[in-house]
Chains A and B, each alone.
Chain A
Amino acid sequence: MGKTLSEKILSDKSGTDAKAGDIVISPVDLVFVQDTTGPLTVRQFKAGKKQTLANPARSAVFIDHAAPSPNRALSNDHLFLRQFAADTGCLLFDAGSGVCHQLVAEKLANPGDVIVGADSHTVTAGALGAFATGMGSSDIAVAWSLGKTWLRVPETFKINVSGKFPKGVGAKDLILHLIGLIGADGATYRALEFSGDTIDKMPMNQRLTIANMAVEAGAKVGLFPSDKITQAYLKSQGRADKYKPLQPDAYAIYERAIDIDVSSLEPTVSKPHTVDNTAAARDLRDIKINQAFIGTCTNGRLEDMAEAASILKGKKVHEGVRLLVCPASRQIMLEANRAGYTNTIIEAGGLILPPGCAACLGLHQGILGDGEVCISTANRNFKGRMGNPDSFIYLASTATAAASAIIGRITDPREVL
């Protein structure tokens, strides 16, 4: 009987013949926290009997959610986390390094790994063929100390993607469309596994965007095969030796198969206050915006900076609109600077934020006012997400957000391309 990607990885790691529905104990290859989940994780870790890390070199603390800190309490949390890193010898990525999930992709995640992080968007590393999933502080504390965790092997939805994206349409539109199709709980407890000719050719930045949002359909993991694209990406990050091919078996058993032809997709937007509340961008042109936010672990990569700059070049951000752009890592910011993308964005009237989570979760750097509307490339539009329950978040691609910033209302990017 064939195996899905999840069954393959978890069989290999647990040393069992793991099938969907089984519970396995798996060693973990990377265990991490960020600055809003980290302090509780460290306290749970310290409440445990065993107070040493099983593998300090594969344990990490990221300071990204409030970076640099906007207040005294969070500054003290950061001190607490830095001290923990110093005491245990784990990896520390301090303010300015970037968003944890982007750094995990750039520096730490390998095909076939099992990765757990105290952040729901840990699923991002599924783009590299890693079984990566988010957990809470207690689970992460135990994974730090024991070097393993328990997992129920998920059933899998196979997402077959075919066709060529039309101009102005891309991976973000695809994943928003899929979540709209199956619902915000449509894949709860399941794995999403992506395949098809569109996936075979899809560059890593787009795979990361899609894997990142698997959790917004409730999924435990969003997995891509490890192939030539993965190999090229690892090589570009100086980690060619970490490549290994990984494909599902031909006769793997899937709970459900969903076929999507992207050639008929349109620029897609998630309306407030749930990600599955999707609509075509062209049907939302009456929605005026106050803020456009381009960045995050979903769409803060170099290709996003390039796309934003190409749309904004020679144009001006609409009067009364704030355009916030945040590269997801230091490496991306440096490359965007070298390529001139950040200058183009600034000349158009945008502002550049330091690498990190920025305005995504309502802690700092772009909290919305009462009644304000933001178009955002992030992954969540829950009520109150950006710091104010009396504001409205529309999720979209980088192209749609950049076009909307110019026009001042939600705009199908094909109108400005």
Chain B
Amino acid sequence: MLHTLLKGRAFKFGDDISTDLIIAGKYASLRSNLPELAKHVMEDANPEFASKVQPGDFIVGGSNFGLGSSREHAPLVIKMAGVSAILAKSFARIFFRNAINQSLPVLICDTGKISEGDQLEVSLDEGVINNVTKNEKYTFTRIPPAMLSILNEGGLIPYINKYGDFKI
């Protein structure tokens, strides 16, 4: 099971963060060397992100986060960087599904009030984001039940290995 209370700082990004900004296509030659690939996470959106992110931190985006390529490396390198969840106003379809399949929580909420560096606590069970810095609370849209079970089993492959089939 996932930790249900997530704590970390917010790294703020804008709208339309594409999979090319998350992990550029030009690094395709590193895709069989994931630790090297992960050093370039978010590079073209914020070159300092990879060196500053700490385990537990959050990526906070705007609308249509993760648009573009189907590359599952995008949520994978974000997870490898230690990010505990992505918060955004909306997500592109394939990215959303890929993140769940990699057991990375993707939470739809109004991110407008969250600022760079805000300390956040996210309760996955309660559906609440507590902005400790600003002393504000926000709610997020619950992950659909079919996807929540995949998320909770550690991703799609562990899920299928456990159940042998889709239990949806």
Contact = CB atoms under 8 A, between A and B. Distances in A.
Contact of B30 (A70, A73, A385): A73
B166 A25 contact: yes
Given A184-B64, A385-B25, A120 B70 contact: yes
Nearest to A154: B93
A362 B31 contact: no
A363 B25 contact: yes
Contact of B69 (A23, A120, A389): A120
A218 B24 CA distance: 19
Contacts of B68: 120, 380, 382
B31 A185 contact: no
Interface in A86-110: none
B160 interface: yes
A181 to B, nearest CB: 16
Interface stretch (A129-137, A200-208, A250-258): A129-137
Contacts of A369: none
A49 B163 CA distance: 11
B31 A40 contact: yes
A274 interface: yes
Interface residues of B, number: 43
A23 B32 contact: no
A48 B157 contact: yes
Contacts of A362: 24-26
**Which of B18, B33, B69, B101 is packed against the most chain A CB atoms within 10 Å?**
B69
B165 interface: yes
A141 B157 contact: yes
B12 interface: no
Contacts of B152: none
B92 A80 contact: no
B146 A23 contact: yes
Given A23-B146, A139-B97, A36 B28 contact: yes
Contact of A387 (B26, B33, B155): B26
Given A40-B72, A48-B160, A134-B70, A382 B168 contact: no
A148 B166 CA distance: 9
A142 interface: yes
Given A220-B93, A384-B20, A77 B31 contact: yes
B31 A36 contact: yes
A39 B30 CA distance: 11
A218 B67 contact: yes
A145 B164 CA distance: 10
A142 B157 contact: yes
A120 B146 contact: no
Interface string B28-72: 111111000000000010000000000000000001100111111
Contacts of B71: 36-37, 136
A38 B146 CA distance: 26
Size class of the A contact interface (CB-based, 8 Å): 35 or more
Contacts of A185: 16, 63-64, 67, 90, 92
Contacts of A184: 16, 64, 67
A66 B28 contact: yes
A165 interface: no
A74 B29 CA distance: 5
A19 interface: no
Interface string A366-383: 010000000000001011
A135 B94 CA distance: 6
Nearest to B73: A40
A125 to B, nearest CB: 14
B21 A383 contact: yes
Given A382-B21, A384-B20, A384-B21, A138 B28 contact: no
Given A77-B31, A185-B67, A384-B24, A146 B92 contact: no
B135 interface: no
B119 interface: no
Contacts of A141: 157
Contacts of A236: none
A39 B156 contact: no
A76 B20 contact: no
Contact of A73 (B29, B63, B146): B29
B168 A150 contact: yes
A141 B92 CA distance: 21
Contact of B72 (A73, A137, A150, A385): A137
B98 interface: yes
Given A25-B166, A138-B157, A139-B101, A77 B16 contact: no
A71 interface: yes
B149 to A, nearest CB: 11
Q: Across the A-B interface, give the 3 residue pairs with the lowest CB-CB distance, nearest first.
A: A136-B72, A136-B98, A185-B64
19 contacts: A40-B72, A47-B157, A47-B161, A48-B157, A71-B29, A77-B31, A120-B69, A135-B97, A136-B70, A138-B155, A146-B165, A150-B166, A215-B94, A218-B67, A380-B18, A383-B21, A384-B21, A384-B24, A387-B25
Given A40-B72, A48-B157, 16 more contacts: A36-B25, A37-B71, A39-B32, A48-B160, A49-B164, A65-B28, A80-B32, A135-B70, A146-B166, A150-B166, A184-B16, A184-B67, A185-B63, A382-B18, A384-B21, A384-B24
